[in-house]
Amino acid sequence: MQLNKVLRQLTAFLGVPLLAFFLASSPAAKAQSLTTGAITGSVLDPTGAAVADATVTVTGIETSASRTVKTGPNGNYSVPSLVPGQYKLSVSAPGFKAQEQGPVSVVVSQSLNLDFKLELGTTTQVVEVTSAPPLVQTATPNTTTTVTSE
């Protein structure tokens, strides 16, 4: 009798985390990463220190739709679930010159890493970075296979 009570309590306790694990690993959850990409990175000051609470705006070049996120205490930002395409990024923070990068390409199932190093100045000044990131994403070992009917 005592064993049944312990098993019920254990099942009730572990039921929620196990359910969450199975839902997160379901095909529906994985499908989102199979149809979208992401942009991540960090925002640093001239000394290499993190810039917390900086505003990062990602704007689709084809759609003009934009999403805005804030950097965390460590200066990192993440913009997940982006539809593949060309994007322009802008970063601003009080006491720093605003900075832009783009166009950059977001690819299915890959996370593009773009770091910013802000210069001291007023927020009315904009520094545009025109260097393009590498076309091959090396941060995560994802593979994609395309099957065509020929």
Is residue 64 pLDDT above 70, yes or no? yes
Q: What percent of the chain has pLDDT over 70?
A: 59
- Other beta carbons within 10 angstroms of residue 15's beta carbon come to 10
Give the pLDDT confidence of 84-131 residue by residue, as tens digits.
999 999 999 999 999 999 899 999 999 999 999 999 986 555 666 666
Q: Which amino acid is at 120?
A: L
In whole angstroms, what is the distance from residue 130 CA to residue 59 CA? 16
In whole angstroms, what is the distance from residue 115 CA to residue 63 CA? 24
pLDDT higher at 20 or 38 = 38
DSSP-derived secondary structure for 36-49:
-EEEEEEEE-TTS-
pLDDT of residue 102: 87
The closest of 62, 116, 118, 124 to 89, measured between CA atoms, is 116
Phi, then psi, of 73 in degrees rounded to 5: -60, -25
Q: From 2.60.120.1440, 3.40.50.1370, 2.60.40.1120, 3.40.50.2000, which CATH number describes the 36-129 domain?
A: 2.60.40.1120
Spell out a b/e string for 100-120, using b for 16 or more CB atoms within 10 Å of the CB, else e.
bbbebbbbebbbbbbebbbee
- Other beta carbons within 10 angstroms of residue 82's beta carbon come to 20
Paired tokens of 71: 């950097």
Is residue 45 pLDDT above 80, yes or no? yes
Annotated domain spans of the chain = 1-35, 36-129
Q: Which amino acid is at 73?
A: P
pLDDT band at 58 (very low <50, low <70, confident <90, very high): very high
